[in-house]
Structure 1
Amino acid sequence: MGDVGSEKTQKNYITGIDGLRAIAVLMVLAYHLRLPFAKGGLLGVTIFFVISGYLLTRSLLPEVENTGKIDFKTFAAKRVKRLIPAIFVMATIIIIVSAIFNRVLFTKGSEDYLSAILGYNNWWQIFNNVSYFENAGTPSPFTHTWSQAIEAQFFILFPIFLLLMNKFFDKKILIRVTIVLAIISMALMWLLFDPTKDPSRVYYGTDTRLFSLLFGALLAMVNPRLSSQKKDQYLRQGIGAAALIGLLVMTATIYGFSDFWYKGGLAIASILGVLVIYGVLDGKGVLSKVLSILPFRYISERSYGIYLWHYPLILLISGGRPMSWWQIAITLILTLVAVELSYRYVETPIRRDAIKKNIAIIRKNPRSSKGRERQMKVFKKVLIVTGSSLAVVLVMLLCMLFVPRKQALNTEKEMQAKAQKAQELAAEKLKEAQANKEDKVAEEEKVAKTDEEILAEIKLLLIGDSIALGATDQFYATFPQSISDAAVSRFATEVGGIYNHYAVDSGWNGDGVIFALGTNGTLGDSLPVLRQELGPDKPLFVITGRAPFVSWIDDNNQQIKDFVKATPNTYLVDWYALSEGHPEYFEPDETHPNVTGADAYIQGIKDAVLAVYREKKE
């Protein structure tokens, strides 16, 4: 990514870091391609943070200690030239292309465009895009720029921190304060994370991700002495290799949406990243040589471009759904082409001050015909590049101004109004159930009933998210004595508390429960918790999900099927199978059912309920 110190002109350049940077970007790429061996590939971003923290501190600390100041003008110019042009070109082109080929992607990208370029996308997502509505359907093509935003903010604030600490304290105090700040950041991640709520605030927050950058900075502050003795070199290499293996194992085995990452997992990964860097500091040994091979160096040089381009291209080609092998191949080819063009014609020329040099040539007063010829050639080149750039920007602006937007789902205001109405209706149904409460003895119900009579009398409690919310009217039309408690962005882990609200706090004693959750996150232990709270006698109906744009839905569905198979008095409503091959069931986000889909959704519940209660009544 845009980590500092990646230029090979830096003094004492550590080639082994190239390999670590390359592995990190490949982790992220594999994760977004949904490759099975990269379940936790977003760990690569954490490694980027560690590298950036180390290289920034290694670059600035000697200057601060020797001169008591930082050349902010030069520092800022380097950072701007490194970060802004590449992301500006990528974002501008993606806006134009998505306006032509994917209007939903264009709509979301237009909203995130400025935040992506100006380095505040992480807070933009926290305050604007954490709602389920903004993430319904295809994600924004610039969602991944949250990490660049954190780095940009770190690049602004950390040099000031170094200056202040150097002015008033010695290096030992600097190290201690940095350790305290890292601990505070880790504690904030742990404390703010709530498995029953959207984790975006914790995942995207600069404060909650700062510790990874600070761990890298600490390694540069400590600047460990490297013994030249063979046994010490072998020890360092062994530590670095073991740490790298640990990172690869975590990437392959721990899902990116696991709670583990927020409860110490990212801190462990950051420490392992530090240990890998420590293992290659002297540039000697097998690990350093392996991480310095040409392919790794090539990928490392282009890692920022790879990170910028791969994600929006994946969304453009796949629409956010799982990809076939040929789609993956096309994505990789387009990514390599875009990255190489960006590297050769945007990043490298600007980093080498091509603009400044060309302007200097144009402003010269050449004394020879050869000089004038060169000047004219440069002038034409600059004119073509400037004109083309302005034309592309103009097209992008015209797209934003005049191309119609297309939302993947109803607006948040409309959905929240529907959710509020559904909650009020659920409260009314609960009051009716409490008012008409009767002690029923199962043995008295010996007369066989028709399906219509069963549906009219049965009292079920549906606990669901916005998928079930869209079928509220159909649910009550089919189960008039039942209750549907559905809400937007509800997590499965909330189910125990919701059931207790009805069964314990309100005295609801119905005939069974319908579990309609799992679209917004992992199931955790929600199913066994609900089954235990419900008791063995009441039936539990569990609905599988269809959400092609989230990575956890397949695991949730498998977990549901395994749980139903292994648990008595628990029954499957396979919405995933029922909706397979029926795109007409869904809104444009391909997740929320429309009216036709809501009818099919409730029909699936109805069939499962009748299959159970016919047998019970008979």
Structure 2
Amino acid sequence: MIFYENQVKNIAQWPWLHFVVQLVLILVISELSYRLVERPFAHFNWHQWQSWLRKLVQPHSGYGWQRLMVLPFLLVFALGLTGAVIAPAHAVAQRAPLAKQIKRNSKQNSRRKASLIAQAQKQSAKAHSATTSQATSKQTDQPVAGLSLTQTQQAKQLPVVAIGDSVMLDSLNVLQQAFPKMIINAKVGRQVKASSDLLNYYATKGVLPDVVLIGLGTNGAFTPQQLAEIMRQVGPKRQVFWINVRVPTRSWQNSVNATLKRGAQQWPNLTVIDWYNYSQGHSAWFYKDQVHPNNIGKQHYSDFIAQQLLKQIKH
């Protein structure tokens, strides 16, 4: 299935069709393997393999056209070897720049996050000292890319806790530039179930602000009950902005986005940031996995989140 998954990038669009195709491929390959490899090998006299090999390569031996029967075995062996060696190496090479960026962002964010938590504990989310206001005004003379001057000033003053996975971690620096007070907790492979402990942690620290940004669902689906638990935990007085997912190589993409859409209809304080539709048709914004934004896509990702958040936030 390595070759199939490498070539087919839009599994999420027709998950059942791709399931059937993969099942058929598995059955066909299994049958061919049984008939052309396993059964002949089971009846082969291994004590005479050297004699068999010599006769096989001799032009006038008794095997004749039967030599062609060896070709399917060699083909299966070659394909298997290619899939086991070349394909993983190619995948690693493709992901190397992304992996390095994520690792670098993770290290930088560990120090930054601790500092932001300490700052948030010292001051109210809604009140700033005169010194802080003066310092901030000097920093907002120039708008952040993708935002107006007014939006830039709003973003720089806005306390946000963001919980995400590798997609958010990949774009961390750009988000942090737009929202200097945003506490970002993003981790590779994170599932929705991890958000409960994180929300409790920030609430206990006294730094869970009125705006919570969540970017989860890339690594697996979640139930409406899990979403309901998160919304109850956050409470009705806080606004939750949830970035929906673009993960075309996984069957749960549409399920995650549908769950979020229904949730936004149920909870007035839940807003879905529709990154899926906004990024539709822009494959150049992503690495080859079509999930993680590249250097171009990160800016679009951050700008879109900032614009949607600032436009719909309740002051």
Shorter chain as denominator, the TM-score bin is: 0.7 to 0.9
Q: Deviations over 1:286-307 (max 9, x none)?
A: xxxxxxxxxxxxxxxxxxxxxx
Among 249, 263, 266, the residue aligned to 1:566: 266
* Superposition deviation, residue 398 in structure 1: 8.9
Q: Which residue of 2 aligns with 1:577?
A: 277
When residues 490 and 331 of structure 1 are mapped into structure 2, their CA distance, relative to the original with a 3 A threshold, is closer
- Which structure has more strand as a fraction of its residues? 2
Whether the aligned pair in 2 keeps the contact of 1:458 and 1:511 (CA below 8 Å) is no
Q: CA deviation at 1:591?
A: 0.9
In the alignment, residue 346 of structure 1 is paired with which amino acid?
A: V
Flag the 1:334–1:421 CA change in 2: closer, same or farther, 3 A. Answer: same
Matched, 1:480 2:167: no
Residue 557 of structure 1 deviates from its aligned partner by 0.9
Whole-angstrom distance in 2 between the partners of 1:314 and 1:566: 39
Q: Report whether the alignment pairs 1:425 with 2:112.
A: yes
Which position in structure 2 is the counterpart of 1:344? 35
What runs of 5+ residues in structure 1 fail to find an aligned partner? 1-310, 364-374, 442-448
Separation in 1, partners of 2:71, 2:34: 20
2:62 to 377, 380, 395: 377
Change (3 A) 1:567 1:599: same
- Tell me the residue number matched to 1:318: 8
Equivalent AA in structure 2 for residue 471 of structure 1:
S
For the residues of structure 2 that align with 1:556 and 1:343, how far apart are their CA atoms? 39
Q: How far has the Cα of 1:388 moved from its partner?
A: 8.4
Map of 2:292 onto structure 1: 592
The answer to whether the Cα contact below 8 Å between 2:285 and 2:294 also exists between their aligned partners in 1 is yes
Letter in 2 for 1:376: S
SS for the counterpart of 2:62 is helix
- Following the alignment from structure 2 to structure 1, what is the Cα–Cα distance between the partners of residues 72 and 125? 78
1:448-493 residue CA offsets vs partner (Å, 9 max, x unmatched): x933332121111111111101111111111122211111111111
1:413-463 deviations in whole A, cap 9, x for unaligned? 66334323223211211112223336649xxxxxxx933332121111111
CA distance in 1, matches of 2:296, 2:177: 15
Residue 512 of structure 1: aligned partner: 211
In structure 2, C-alpha distance between the alignment counterparts of 1:478 and 1:433, rounded to whole Å: 17
Q: How many angstroms apart in 2 are the aligned matches of 1:572 and 1:390?
A: 52
2:252 aligns with 552
Using a 3 Å threshold, how does the CA distance of structure 1 residues 512 and 547 change in structure 2: closer, same or farther? same
**CA offsets per residue over residues 511-570 of structure 1, 9 Å max, x none?**
310111111122244422222222211211111001112222211111111001110122
- Deviation, 1:318, is 2.1
Describe the shift of the 1:391–1:608 C-alpha distance in structure 2 as closer, same or farther (beyond 3 A): closer
Classify 1:336/1:477 alpha carbon distance in 2 versus 1 (closer, same or farther; 3 Å). Answer: same
Q: Give the letter for the 2:120 counterpart.
A: A
Structure 2 counterparts to residues 70-89 of structure 1, below 5 A: none
Aligned residue number for residue 145 of structure 2: none
What letter matches 1:555 in structure 2?
Answer: S
SS of alignment partner, residue 463 of structure 1: strand
- Given residue 210 of structure 2, which amino acid in structure 1 is its aligned partner? D
2:95 is paired with a residue whose SS is coil
CA contact (8 A) 1:317 1:327 kept: no
Aligned counterpart in structure 2 of residue 523 of structure 1, from 222, 230, 240 = 222
Q: Does the 8 A contact of 1:317 with 1:331 survive in 2?
A: no
- Look up the match of 1:532: 232
Q: Is contact 1:419–1:488 with CA below 8 Å preserved after alignment?
A: no
Tell whether the 8 Å contact from 1:434 to 1:507 is kept in structure 2 after alignment.
yes
Describe the SS at the equivalent of 1:377.
Answer: coil
Match of residue 405, structure 1, among 87, 90, 101: 90
Match of residue 603 from structure 1: 303
- Distance in 2 of aligned mates of 1:559 and 1:326: 22
Tell me, in whole angstroms, the C-alpha distance in 2 between the residues paired with 1:581 and 1:439. 39
Shift of 1:592: 0.9
SS state of the match for residue 185, structure 2? strand
Give the aligned partner of residue 452 of structure 1: 152
Contact kept, 8 Å, 1:496 with 1:526, in 2: the verdict is no
In the alignment, which residue of structure 1 is the partner of 2:193?
Answer: 493
**Pairwise CA distance, 1:508:** 0.7
Residues 169-318 of structure 1 aligned to structure 2 (within 5 Å): 311-312=1-2, 314-315=4-5, 317-318=7-8
- Say if 1:348 and 1:424 are closer, same or farther in 2 by CA, change over 3 A: same
| CA distance in structure 2 between the aligned counterparts of 1:335 and 1:493, rounded to whole angstroms | 33
Displacement of 1:317 in angstroms is 4.9
CA distance in 1: counterparts of 2:235 and 2:75, whole angstroms? 67
Compared CA separation, residues 539 and 420, structure 1 to 2 (3 A): same
CA distance 1:438–1:358, change in 2 (3 Å): closer
For the pair 1:415 / 2:102, whether they are aligned, the reply is yes
Give the whole-Å Cα distance in 1 for the aligned partners of 2:20 and 2:201.
Answer: 51
Q: How well do the aligned residues superpose, as a CA RMSD in angstroms?
A: 4.0
Matched letter for residue 264 of structure 2: V
| 3-state SS of paired residue (2:11) | coil
Kept after mapping to 2: 8 A contact 1:358/1:382: no
**Structure with a larger share of its residues in helix:** 1
Q: Which residue identity lines up with residue 508 of structure 1 in the other structure?
A: V
What TM-score, normalized to structure 1? Answer: 0.40
* 3-state DSSP of counterpart to 2:287: coil
Deviation track 1:98-122 (CA, whole Å, cap 9, x = no partner) reads: xxxxxxxxxxxxxxxxxxxxxxxxx
* 1:581 Cα offset (Å): 0.7
Q: How much does 1:495 deviate?
A: 0.8
Instruction: Give CA-to-partner distance per residue, 1:297-338, whole Å, 9 cap, x none.
Output: xxxxxxxxxxxxxx3464255247247699889878866765
Change (3 A) 1:529 1:338: closer
Distance 1:317 1:334, change over 3 A: farther
Aligned length: 284
Q: Is the 8 A contact 1:313 1:331 kept in 2?
A: no
Identity of aligned residues (%): 25
- In 1, the alpha carbon distance for the partners of 2:125 and 2:44 equals 84
- TM-score after normalising by structure 2: 0.74
What amino acid does structure 2 have at the position aligned with 1:601? Answer: Y
